Amino acid sequence: MDAAEARRRFGLLLAATLLSLGVQGIVPPGDAQRVLVSALAGLSIFLAFRAAQISHHWVRAAGLLALAVVAVAIIRATAGGVDEGVTRTLNAVLVACGPPAVAVGVLRELRSSSQVRMEAVMGVLALYILVGMLFAFVYGAIDQFGSRPFFDGGQTATVSHCLYFSFVTLTTVGYGDFAAHTNLGHTLAVFEALIGQIYLVTVVSVIVSNLGRPRRREDGAG
Q: What is the pLDDT of residue 219?
A: 46
Q: Which residues contact 219 (CB under 8 A, 6 or more apart)?
A: none
What residues make up the domain containing 175? 3-209
Look at residue 30 and tell me if it is in a domain: yes
Kindly state whether residue 221 falls inside one of the protein's structural domains. no
**CB-based contacts of 16, cutoff 8 Å, min separation 6:** 40, 43, 44, 47
**Per-position b or e across 50-84, b if 16+ CB within 10 A of its CB:** bbbbbeeeebeebbebbeebbebbbebbeeeebeb
Mean pLDDT value of segment 75-85: 89
- pLDDT recorded at residue 222: 41
Question: Does the residue 66 lie in any domain?
Answer: yes
Percentage of the chain lying above the pLDDT 70 cut: 95
pTM across the whole model:
0.91
pLDDT at 18: 96
Per the structure, how many domains does the chain have?
1
Q: Under a CB-based contact definition with an 8 Å cutoff, are residues 140 and 112 in contact? A: no
pLDDT computed for residue 216 by the predictor: 57
> Mean per-residue pLDDT for 165-187?
93
Q: Is residue 62 within a helix (H) or strand (E), and if so which, with residue range?
A: helix 56-78
Residue 219 inside a domain? The answer is no
**Domain assignment of residue 214, yes or no:** no
Judge whether 204 lies within some domain: yes
Whether 222 is in a domain gets the answer: no
Flag whether 100 is in a domain: yes
What average pLDDT does this structure show over 170-194? 93
3-state secondary structure of 177: coil
- Separation of alpha carbons 54 and 98, rounded Å: 12
Of 89, 84, 92, whose CA–CA distance to 135 is shortest? 92
When pLDDT is cut at 50, 70 and 90, the band that residue 112 belongs to is confident
- Mean pLDDT, residues 19-30: 93
